[in-house]
Amino acid sequence: MTAIPRSTPRVLPGLSLGLGISILFVTLIVLLPISGLLWQLAQLTPADYFRVMSSERVLTALRVTLTAAAAATLINGVFGLMLAWVLTRYRFAGRGLIDALVDLPFALPTAVAGIALVSLYDRSGWLGSVLDKFGLQVAYTWWGIMIAMIFTSIPFAVRAIQPAIEELDPDEEAAALTLGANGVQRFLRVVLRPLMPSILTGVGLSFVRSMGEFGAVIFIAGNLPYKTEIASLLILIRLDEFDYPAAAAIAGTLLLLSVILLVAINLAQTRMQRYLRAEG
- At 170-198, the pLDDT tens digits run 777 777 777 777 777 777 777 888 889 89
pLDDT, residue 277, reads 77
Q: Which amino acid is at 238?
A: R
- Radius of gyration of the chain, Cα coordinates, nearest whole angstrom: 23
Q: Give the whole-angstrom CA distance, residue 54 versus residue 58.
A: 7
The answer to whether the Cα torsion of 102, 160, 195, 259 is positive or negative is negative
DSSP codes joined into one string, 124-156: TSHHHHHHHHTT---TTSHHHHHHHHHHHHHHH
pLDDT, residue 187, reads 79
CB atoms within 10 A of CB 206: 28
pLDDT, residue 203, reads 93
Largest CA distance in the chain: 86
Q: Please tell me which residue, 70 or 8, carries the higher pLDDT value.
A: 70
How far out from the chain centre does Cα 167 lie?
23
Q: What is the mean pLDDT of residues 72-78?
A: 95
Q: Give the whole-angstrom CA distance, residue 160 versus residue 167.
A: 12
pLDDT band at 152 (very low <50, low <70, confident <90, very high): very high
Instruction: Give CATH for domain 62-108+149-213+226-279.
Output: 1.10.3720.10
- At 221-249, the pLDDT tens digits run 988 889 999 999 999 999 999 998 899 99
Q: Give the whole-angstrom CA distance, residue 221 versus residue 228.
A: 6
CB 216 within 8 A of CB 154: no
- Residue boundaries of the structural domains of the chain: 62-108+149-213+226-279
pLDDT, residue 266, reads 87
pLDDT band at 7 (very low <50, low <70, confident <90, very high): low
Q: List the Cα angle 231/232/236 in 5-degree steps.
A: 115
pLDDT, residue 10, reads 59
pLDDT, residue 208, reads 93
Q: Give the whole-angstrom CA distance, residue 153 versus residue 80.
A: 10
pLDDT, residue 20, reads 80
Say if residue 213's pLDDT is above 60.
Answer: yes
pLDDT band at 1 (very low <50, low <70, confident <90, very high): very low
Lowest model confidence (mean pLDDT) among 72-81, 106-115, 266-275: 266-275
pLDDT, residue 15, reads 65
CB 232 within 8 A of CB 213: yes
Give which of 110, 128, 89, 133 is closest to 217, Cα–Cα: 110
Could you tell me how many residues make up the chain?
280
- At 88-140, the pLDDT tens digits run 988 888 899 999 999 998 888 888 999 999 999 998 888 999 998 888 999 99
pLDDT, residue 19, reads 77
**Contact partners, residue 178, CB within 8 Å, separation at least 6:** none
Give which of 194, 154, 150, 156 is closest to 172, Cα–Cα: 194
